Amino acid sequence: MELVKRYIAAVQRELPEAKRDEIGRELNANIMDQLDMLAEQQGELTDTDIAAVLKQMGHPRTVAQQFVPVQPLINASYMSLYKNTLFMVLGILFVLHVIDVTTHWLSSADMGLIGYGFALFGGFIDDACFGFTSITLAYWLMSRQQPVANSGCGSNWQPEKLPSAGPGWQHIKLQDIFTDLASYIFLLVVIWYPLYMSAEQLAQSALLLSSNVRLILQYSTPLIVLGIVHSLWQLRQRLWSRSMLATHVLLNAAIAVIALYLASTSPLLELNTERWLGVFNLQQLERSAMITLVIIALIPAWEALRDTLRLRKLK
């Protein structure tokens, strides 16, 4: 009977402490009944016979899970809300992190472009881990309470208020909204950083745009602010409408034109040549900046074209 004791102990180890004794006692009674019945049919039982009966009962963990089913960390009724919160918070954290790291990069003499990239993504992973853990813990605590049946999907809804059935692209993804938002805020920080930096910090800055470029960008500020407002509008609606698409087309077309205009401007950068000595020469950097701007212009140009086509299809 040593095998039975071991089996019951293994099942009990997988159970919550409060239920171990009761379930162990009952399981023992059931197994003993079964062994008695087998002994009546076969005579004295060997360890092999007992092992076969226990094996038929199932793995201790499986049996324990049948008695006390495993509760998911987050209740299924909260899952959709949980994913939405997660994306929303991670998006906001990303935007805040972009502002923080970009400000630091612009005012730091020690941080190069590679350092900026590492700080941006490495730091965001830290923030994301913190955000993920906090949100998961909050939902875990909510799930431990009595879950609200079909939370957020109660009977208080009207079919007439549902948005019209449109094409798949009409639903705006949260990650798209937050990517746009982060890009606009990044641009704002880059354009206006000389305002809130001391002369000393400016002298140490790794990236200096020429005064001509800065002026063009400063004039573009209303457009960028409009972009931020538009992203917030998307966040509220989450569904492309004709007016939203039209604004998006205009916004992207204007951004593409500005980027192309900047690419044709010279000089683009105002460099501390001593600092870059032996790494790049001025011409190489200017050319790289120009190519980068053309590539950057292609992205909003593509979005403007795509949205124009979508606008024509949307009724």
Residues in contact with another protein by CB under 8 A are: 23, 25-27, 29-30, 32-34, 36-37, 56-58, 62-63, 66-67
Choose between 58 and 167: whose C-beta lies nearer to another protein: 58
State the minimum distance, in angstroms, from the CB of residue 293 to another protein.
56
State the minimum distance, in angstroms, from the CB of residue 45 to another protein.
15
Q: Which two tokens stand for residue 92?
A: 């906001």
Q: In whole angstroms, what is the distance from residue 87 CA to residue 286 CA?
A: 38
Choose between 33 and 47: whose C-beta lies nearer to another protein: 33
- Region of 295 (left: φ > 0; alpha: ψ -120 to 50; beta: rest) is alpha
State the minimum distance, in angstroms, from the CB of residue 21 to another protein.
12
State the minimum distance, in angstroms, from the CB of residue 8 to another protein.
12
- Angle, CA 234 vertex, CA 233 and CA 237 arms, to 5°: 85
**Sign, Cα dihedral of 148, 150, 155, 157:** positive
State the minimum distance, in angstroms, from the CB of residue 100 to another protein.
50
Q: Which two tokens stand for residue 101?
A: 């790291």
Q: In whole angstroms, what is the distance from residue 192 CA to residue 190 CA?
A: 6
State the minimum distance, in angstroms, from the CB of residue 60 to another protein.
10
Choose between 30 and 84: whose C-beta lies nearer to another protein: 30
171 forms beta bridges with 239
Choose between 68 and 138: whose C-beta lies nearer to another protein: 68
Choose between 38 and 89: whose C-beta lies nearer to another protein: 38
Choose between 9 and 295: whose C-beta lies nearer to another protein: 9
- Residue 295 CB-density burial (10 A; 0-12 exposed, 13-18 middle, 19+ buried): exposed
**DSSP-derived secondary structure letter, 239:** B
**Sign, Cα dihedral of 214, 218, 219, 225:** positive
Q: In whole angstroms, what is the distance from residue 62 CA to residue 69 CA?
A: 9
